[in-house]
Amino acid sequence: MAADEAKAKGNAAFSAGRFEEAAGHFGDAVALAPDNHVLFSNRSAAYASLHRYKEALADAERTVALRPDWAKGYSRLGAARLGSGDAAGAVEAYEKGLALDPSNAALKDGLAQARSALPRRPASGADAIGKIFQGADLWSKIAADPTTRAYLDQPDFMQMLRDLQRNPGNLNNYLSDPRMMQVLSLMLNVKVQNQNNEASEPTPAKSSPPPPQKQPETKPREPEP
């Protein structure tokens, strides 16, 4: 039996959802054409469908080794790594594939899934505070306050707010803007001041030093003329 014939049988079984049978046919084809990257790719897909990610990963690695400039091989590699619990490795594989084929929808979808599976880092203080800009009452509070209402007509300020709604962790980038400090004060309902807007503390008046006390004369007084 030729490799192409075994491959055709594998494709038919795979399309019918008979993944175990498909893996067997692709294995027969690999035995007949051990340097064919497509056969390893197909068997990797069959193994991944069976959740046998160790075998899927081995075939995917062989695929990209045989044909490193073939974007689809990195799709197989990403899927096998993701199934094995290596989300970071999956992201790397999908990104390599997209570097070869930027418009590949399967690679884009796989990359999105891999990124969503990455462990979440703990939110920083700026992230936590920045989330207040994602609240539903943000715009109404700014519009209702006479001090901040005019900011809504300023394009650069609106761009800052929209960036914070998308990425709350960017708050530190805008704390030097007194308008942002004013809005932050409004949203937190506290008085917030930056370094350029600190309330000056009254300095105590310097008291004049007491007059020097007259020291007793030690020199004998000269007789008056």
Q: What is the pLDDT of residues 21-59, one digit of tens each?
A: 999 999 999 999 999 999 999 999 999 999 999 999 999
101 Cβ contact list (under 8 Å, min separation 6) = 71, 107
Q: Whole-angstrom Cα distance, residue 43 to residue 25?
A: 9
The CATH number that applies at residue 88 is: 1.25.40.10
Number of domains in the chain: 2
Task: Name the residue type at position 127.
Answer: D
Structure tokens at 44: 């990797």
- Residue 35 and residue 16 in one domain: yes
pLDDT tens string 84-136 = 999 999 999 999 999 999 999 999 999 999 999 888 755 455 556 666 776 66
Residue 78 structural domain: 1-117
Residue 207 within a domain:
no
Q: Is 93 exposed, middle or buried (0-12, 13-18, 19+ CB in 10 A)?
A: buried
Residue ending a domain, among 117, 139, 160, is 117
Res. 146: pLDDT tops 60 = yes
Which ranges of 121-189 does DSSP label H, i.e. alpha helix? 125-130, 138-144, 155-166, 178-188
**What tokens were used for 200?**
């000056």
Query: What's the pTM?
Result: 0.56
Task: Give the pLDDT band (50/70/90) at residue 139.
Answer: confident
What percent of the chain clears pLDDT 70, i.e. is strictly above it? Answer: 77
